[in-house]
Structure 1
Amino acid sequence: MTRLLLLDVGKTGCRAALVEAGVRVASGQAPGAGGIAEADGPARALGAIAAATEGWPAPDRIAAGLAGLASAPGRAGALAAGLRARFGAAVEVLLGSDMTLWHAGALGGAPGVVLAAGTGTVALGVDAGGRSARVDGWGHQLGDDGSGYAIGRAGLRAALRAQDGRPGGSNDLLARVRARFGDPDGVPARMYGAANPAREIAAFAPDVLAVAAVEPDADPVAAGIVGRAATDLADAAAAAAHRLQLPARPTGVQPVACGGGLLAAGPVLTGPLDAALTARSLTRTTPLGDALDGARLLLEDPHVPHHALLTAAETPAPGGAR
């Protein structure tokens, strides 16, 4: 009986699943590990994995998706070594970015484009030959356009412009700032002093979306922020599809599997997003699965194109899945 350990190690949470004889027999979770690219990234990731799998039997094979690994592939060796030290020297280890494994799960191993919209934003296209195109995912200081962070930041800026009496402000958003944070004068210290400023700023995105959703007289500033976010998200998906020159579908429309917590806002965001995607010959679809499903697929199917996206340290021993 082959025992598979599936891991999805994100910045905010770590999820694990154990599969025996084709059946998921255990699930676990733990706080996230930050990014693998951080100085202590591998150690924190291994600690999160240990917490999520405490008391579990040793697996025969492991597939893990890790946030930040695409930016720091050189960390794969330390991660693989740490996993083998914990679970046994003979265990087979496959490591990829969390986005790669989510892509595999979202499209069932098929080529195409996925779009993740949460605190950050990233689009990933993969073709049948394993070529990939990642768009955005540059982090809140350099990118993440259309993300919860981008919406929250734009909303806070508009609120503070209203506080100052400058053009382009929104009194509705200012009222939301007061309700959530109190005196606007204290907002900068709260944001700049937060352990995770991007997450703290993104926490205001639901307020912006709520103000934009008010009917029939939605706040034009909030509505404009959400409309810009929808355009940015569609642009990211379109860029990924264009860079790979994915084959045209019979309908002439390329599906994009879209996921992430930001889409839970509903029609206030998905409405303009759908319109922006349609204008780019794209259409939004629901993901078939998640990163844990992608991890299992990589272990069970040596032919999915995502194997080409694994780092050098992930290559299985002779006789393994690949």
Structure 2
Amino acid sequence: MSGFILGIDIGGTGSRVALASFEATAEPAPPCTLTGPGVSIGAEGSNAPQQIRRLVSAAREAWPESFESIRGVGIGATGIASLSTDVGEFARSVATETKAETAVAIDAVAAHLGALSGRGGAVTVLGTGAIAIAHPGPDAHGVLPPMWTRTDGWGHLFGDRGGGAWIGRHALEAALKCHDDVDLSGTALLEAARERFGEPTTWPATFYTRSDRAGQLAAFAVDVAGLAREGDPVSTALLAEAGREAARSAIAAGSQGADAHSLIALTGGLRQAGETLVEAFRAEVLRLNAEAVVVDPAGDPLDGALTLARLVAEERVRPQPGVLWT
């Protein structure tokens, strides 16, 4: 089948849409991509559906001739399950708009498909938030059955253990302990936080009144990673604990599905925080399951969204309430 596929990746701090050829070749051409803003969360929930529609419109405008030949659309979006309503109906509306088979999934599904190239296993995604997801892989017919299992992804107030907002929040707690003369080990973090956010007395108003506070907290994780590279012990310890939290979530997600824990990967933007986090993840996985195979991610969530688009175009993916809709 000729034509094109459209992949959309919506995260907490940014979004991307990619157009790629539907035809699988030994050396496929790199996809054409566009970028946009990330998800924000307010009193009415997530604006992911609006962001997705904007990206679809941008793709139509950027690639008008190719857009008419789209065979499948794959969408991975942060917060789409718990903070948006009637996702199945939304998926059908996108399918009507694009005249293509459409699958909408939580962001972790796209990350899993990108990291493991459609193979079975467990993946922890560390970005602004954190979630782990596992799947045993395609069945004998090459179809992905509704067997996704997840751990965490509860948002920055209740969970997202090891994610960017989690790191930022714990780093600011350490900074405030230093400010309050409770624990002076967070001196470097306090200085970095002052440079980014101003005086500590302004932080409550800065964060508590914002709809994008998770993204603001995650932005501070960049400073934490920089301090860790400079040898700050508190920052280094925070990154190591984030890696261990990510490993615990991956093992827990994998243990819920048959043979889903054989391959385990860490993916997401926070992987770039440094080897301290990555090595702590690997060590904790192997401590918890000596038979696990820890692999580097083969691709990112946008690659996974394109894989999802190809699968739905070929009718090789099945919906699962709360995780994936077609």
TM-score by length of 2: 0.80
Following superposition, the deviation at residue 106 of structure 1 comes to 1.7
Aligned to 1:65: 76
Instruction: Return the match for 1:147 from 160, 163, 170.
Output: 163
Tell me which amino acid in the other structure corresponds to 2:57.
A
Instruction: Say whether 1:289 aligns with 2:302.
Output: no
Within the alignment, does 1:110 sit opposite 2:123 as a pair?
A: no
Q: Is the 8 A contact 1:32 1:45 kept in 2?
A: no
Instruction: Find 2:109's aligned residue among 100, 109, 112.
Output: 100
Structure 1 residue 75 corresponds to structure 2 residue 90: no
> Structure 1 residue 28 and structure 2 residue 34: aligned?
yes
2:52 is matched with 45
> Gaps spanning 5+ residues in structure 2: where?
24-28, 140-144
Residues 165 and 310 from structure 1, CA distance in 2 versus in 1: closer, same or farther, beyond 3 angstroms?
same
**Quick check: 1:118–1:148 contact (8 Å CA) kept in 2?**
yes
What is the aligned counterpart of 1:125 among 118, 128, 134? 134
Kept in 1, the 8 Å contact 2:6–2:309? The answer is: no
Identity across matched positions, percent? 30
Between stretches 32-41 and 71-80, larger displacement belongs to: 32-41
2:175 & 2:101 partners in 1: Cα distance? 52
RMSD of aligned alpha carbons: 3.1
Q: Distance in 2 between matches of 1:306 and 1:276?
A: 34
Work out the CA distance in 2 between the residues paired with 1:169 and 1:304.
56
- Report the Cα offset of residue 119 of structure 1: 1.3
Give the structure 2 partner of residue 170 of structure 1: 186
8 Å CA contact 2:5–2:21 kept in 1: the answer is: yes
Task: Indicate yes or no: 2:227 matched with 1:211.
Answer: yes
Structure 2 distance, partners of 1:314, 1:155, is 37
In the alignment, which residue of structure 2 is the partner of 1:266? 274
* Higher CA-based Rg: 1
Q: Please say if residues 120 and 260 of structure 2, whose CA atoms lie closer than 8 Å, have aligned partners that are also in contact.
A: no
Structure 2 Cα separation of the partners of residues 297 and 74 of structure 1:
24
SS in 1 for 2:79: coil
TM-score, scaled relative to structure 1: 0.81
Runs of 4+ in 1 over 6 A off after TM superposition: 302-306
In structure 2, the CA distance between the partners of 1:27 and 1:206, relative to structure 1 (3 Å rule), is closer
CA distance in 2, matches of 1:120, 1:295: 18
Is the partner of 1:28 in helix, strand or coil? Answer: strand
- Classify the secondary structure of the residue corresponding to 1:54: helix
C-alpha separation in 2, matches of 1:236 and 1:192: 28
Pair 1:278-2:294 in alignment: no
Residue of structure 2 equivalent to 1:228: 241
Gaps in structure 1 of 5+ consecutive residues: 249-253, 316-322
Equivalent residues of 2:7, 2:309 under 8 A apart: no
Higher relative contact order (CA 8 A, sep 6+): 2
